[in-house]
Structure 1
Amino acid sequence: MKLDLADPTWQIDLPRHRSVAGDAPVAGCAFSRDGTVAAFALGDGAVRFLPADLSAAVPAGAAPVHKGAVLALAADPAGTGFVSGGDDGRLLRLALDGSVSEVANQKGKWIEHIATHRATGTVAASAGKMALVAKDGEVREFGPHQSTVADLDFSKDGGRLACAHYGGVTVWSIGQVTLPPRRFAWAGSHVAMKWSPDGKFIATGTQENDIHVWRVAQAADMRMQGYPAKVRSLSWSADARWLYTSAQPVFTAWSFAGKGPEGKPPLQFGQEGAGLITVVAAHPTAEFVLGGYDTGEVQLGDIKSRRSIVIRIADGSPITGLAWAPDGFRLALGNERGDLVVIDLRR
C-alpha cells in the first residue's frame, strides 16, 4: 500500500467516502472475502450491505434477519457472503442475494462473538458458556467454560480454538487429533482476545484495565498495565510484530520482536484524539492501523513513520466497528448513532 502520511494534502482533504444513515446502532462491520461488499450489523436485527465501489448504486435498506439485535458479524470463510449472530440465539449464513440459512440455534442464549478461519472454512461462535464450531454442515460444541465466553479466536492452522472467559483462556483441539483442553489461567475477567498471526501468543484485555499475554509454547505469561479504561479491542499487525490496543488517546503498540514487551513501555504515536480509542484494526498486509474514537473521530496511523492523520472528523458518536477490505485500500466503519460508512483511501 503506497501512502505517505507526510503528504500535507492528507492533513487537509478527507478521503472519498460514502455515508448512509442506518436505523439502529452498529455492532460491527466486515467486508466479504472478495472485498466487493461491506456489511454492517445493526441493533434492530438487520444486516445492511453496501458496495465497496463508491460509484455503485446503494441498495435499499435491509429487512431484519435476527429477532433482536445483531451482536456479531464476519465474512463467511466458506462462501461469498457473511455469518451473523444475534441475541435470538441464532447463527446465520447470509448470502449476498439476501437469502438466509440457519447454521445453529441456541434458544435462550446470545451469539455474541464469531471467529472464522478462511483456509479451513470453519466458523466458531460463542453461546453462553459454550463455543460452537461449524464446518461442512456439522456443528460441534465445546465447554462449558467457567463463565460466559467473552471472545474466541483460531490458531494459525485452524486446528485449535481459544476461548476467553473469567479466570483465563481455554484452548480446545478441534482438528483431526483430539487432545485435552489446555488452560491458560489468570484471575479476573477477560473481555477481549486475539491469537497472534504467527501462532506464538494469545493476548487478552481484562476487566482490570490491562492486557495479559501468554507465550503459547511455554505457557509463560506477561501483564501490561497503565490503561485508563478496559481494553476491549486488540489487533495484531500482519507480521505479528506489534499488538495494537484500544483505551488510549493515541495509538499504542506493544512490540513482540525479540524477547517481547514485558518490562518495556509500549510505542505510542500519532495525534492525540479528543477522547479514547474504542476500536483498532491493523492493516491486512502493511504497517498501517486504524483507530476509532469514542468521539467519532477516526485516524489512520503509520507505525513506520510514527505519524497519523484524521480521516473522519469527530461528530460525537462513538465508533463501534472498523474493518479493512482485503485490498487494503478501502475500509468500513460504523458508530453508535447508526452511520454506515465506506471510505476509499486511493487518491
Structure 2
Amino acid sequence: MSATATQEAPAKPAPQSGQSPLFDLLARSWSLDAPICDVALDIAGTIAGFALENGRLALMALKDPESALNRMRVEADSGRSTIRPREKPVGTPILTSELANGAPLLAASGAIGLIAAARDGRIHRVTPRGQVIPMLSKTSPIFAVTSDLAGRLAVGRDGRTDLYEEEGMRRLAGLLTPGPANALAFAPDDRSLAVMLAENLLLGQPSQGYENHPLGGSGPLSFSADGIWIAGSNGRDGFWLLRRNDGAIGRIGNFRAPPSSVAFSKAGEAIFASGAFRAAGWSLATPPLASEATGALKTGRSGLVLIEKIAAHPGRDLIALGMADGAVAITRVGQPEEMPLRHADGSPVTALAWSADGLHLAIGTAAGSAALVTLPPQLFK
C-alpha cells in the first residue's frame, strides 16, 4: 500500500526581506510548520527532504525553473557576472503525512527517493513525488538507519542491528549489541558497516565478523570518501578519528559543545567538526594522532557564536558553517576569509547538506525555515 503526500498545512514561501542580498538572489526559502531536525538528498539529485519535529517530511525539488544559473549574465565588455532577481514565486514543497512520532530518521534510498524510519519501528520509502510506501512495521524502536546506496539498509534497535535488502526488506544478518546503536554508517570502499555504541565502535563485514574499537559516542558517524578514515562524535566534548589500515586513533577534545556534525573534505584532505567558535579542522596529511595540535587548520574566523552544523563541499575545498544564531557562511579549508550567505535570525541551524554535484546547499533551522541555495561555480573562482 502507499499513500499520497498531503497538504493539510501547506508550507509558505518565506519572506525574503531581512536576509542578505546574496541569499535573496540565490536561495529558495520556505517557512514550515515545525522545527527542522535533519535533511537528506536522494542519490538521483532530484529532491531534498527535511525531517520535521512533527513527524512529517517536507520535500523540495532541486531543479529550479528560475535557477540562479539561468539568471546569470556575463557582461561582454568587462566579463563581470551579474544575477537578475527572481521574477516568479518559488514552488510549494510537498508535505507528507505523519511518518513518525517525532522527527523521522533519514537515509537516501539505493533505489528511489528517501528512507524515513521512526522511533516506533515504522520504515517508509518516500518517492520524489511524495508517495509514501510502507516498508516495515515493528513495535521495537529504531535508533539509527543508514543505506549503502546499493540495495542494503542497516537498522539499529535496542540490543541489535539488522541488515536488510531494501527491496522486500528481507533480513540478511543480525548483530547483537549491548544497548542501542547511536549511529550507523557504511564504508564507501568495501561497504563495511560501522556500528557506534555508547562505549565502543564495531566495524566490519556482517559475514566476516566485526572489529571492536574503544571509540563510543552518540554520533554523528562519518567515513572519508576513500574509506581510509572514520570519525565520530564522542557525545561530550569532541570527536575521535580512526585510520582503518593500521588502527591508529586520534582523540580531539575541549569543544564547547558536543559536535553534531563531522565532515571530511576530499578536496581539502581534512576533517572538520562543529561545536566550536570557529571551523575546527585538521589536515589528514598530518593527522592529529599523537597530539591535538598536529595538523590543525585555521579556517574561517573565530567568533562569539557556536557553529552548530558543518558540511564539506563534495568537490571543492569549501566548508559551509551553520551557526547557533541562524547565520550561514562559506569558507575555504585553511583560509581565514568567510563569505556570509545567510544572516542571523536567532534560530539555530539544525540541518546543513550539499548536493552531490555541489551546486546546492540545503539549510534548515529550529524555527522551521528551510532553504535551497544554488551556488554558481563562478562564485568560488
Q: Quick one: which amino acid aligns to residue 263 of structure 2?
A: S
Whole-Å Cα distance in 1 between the matches of residues 93 and 225 of structure 2?
37
TM-score by length of 2: 0.79
Equivalent residue number for residue 114 of structure 1? 145
Q: Quick one: which amino acid aligns to residue 199 of structure 2?
A: G
Count of residue correspondences: 330
For residues 278-327 of structure 1, what are the alpha-carbon distances to aligned partners after superposition, in whole Å with 9 as ceiling and x for unaligned? 11111111111111111111111111544222111111111111111122
Q: Quick one: which amino acid aligns to residue 223 of structure 2?
A: W
The range that moved more, 296-305 or 258-267, is 258-267
Equivalent residue number for residue 298 of structure 1? 328
1:169, distance to aligned residue in structure 2 (A): 0.3
Residues 1:72 and 2:120 are matched in the alignment? no
- Partner of 2:276, secondary structure, is coil
Q: Quick one: which amino acid aligns to residue 214 of structure 2?
A: A
| Aligned partners of 1:146 and 1:166 also within 8 Å | no
Percent identity, please.
23
- Partner of 1:19, secondary structure, is strand
Among 106, 116, 128, which residue is 1:96 paired with?
Answer: 128
Equivalent residue number for residue 17 of structure 1? 27
Matches within 5 A, 1:260-339: 260-265=288-293, 266-303=296-333, 305-339=335-369
Whole-Å Cα distance in 2 between the matches of residues 240 and 172 of structure 1?
27
Matches within 5 A, 1:1-347: 13-14=22-23, 15-55=25-65, 58-59=91-92, 61-79=94-112, 81-110=113-142, 112-118=143-149, 120-135=150-165, 136-137=167-168, 138-174=170-206, 178-186=207-215, 189-239=217-267, 241-258=269-286, 260-265=288-293, 266-303=296-333, 305-346=335-376
Root-mean-square deviation over aligned CA pairs? 2.3
The range that moved more, 331-340 or 298-307, is 298-307
1:182, distance to aligned residue in structure 2 (A): 1.1
Whole-Å Cα distance in 1 between the matches of residues 196 and 100 of structure 2?
26
Whole-Å Cα distance in 2 between the matches of residues 310 and 132 of structure 1?
43
For residues 176-196 of structure 1, what are the alpha-carbon distances to aligned partners after superposition, in whole Å with 9 as ceiling and x for unaligned? xx212210114x644322122
Equivalent residue number for residue 75 of structure 2? none
| Aligned partners of 2:217 and 2:232 also within 8 Å | no
The range that moved more, 137-146 or 198-207, is 137-146
For residues 67-106 of structure 1, what are the alpha-carbon distances to aligned partners after superposition, in whole Å with 9 as ceiling and x for unaligned? 4223322322222x11111222112111123222233333
Whole-Å Cα distance in 1 between the matches of residues 38 and 190 of structure 2?
23
- Partner of 1:13, secondary structure, is helix
Whole-Å Cα distance in 2 between the matches of residues 60 and 305 of structure 1?
36
TM-score by length of 1: 0.87
Q: Quick one: which amino acid aligns to residue 100 of structure 1?
A: V
Q: Quick one: which amino acid aligns to residue 278 of structure 1?
A: E
Q: Quick one: which amino acid aligns to residue 42 of structure 2?
A: S
Whole-Å Cα distance in 2 between the matches of residues 166 and 148 of structure 1?
8
Q: Quick one: which amino acid aligns to residue 107 of structure 2?
A: A
- Partner of 2:180, secondary structure, is coil
Please identify the structure whose Cα radius of gyration is greater: 2
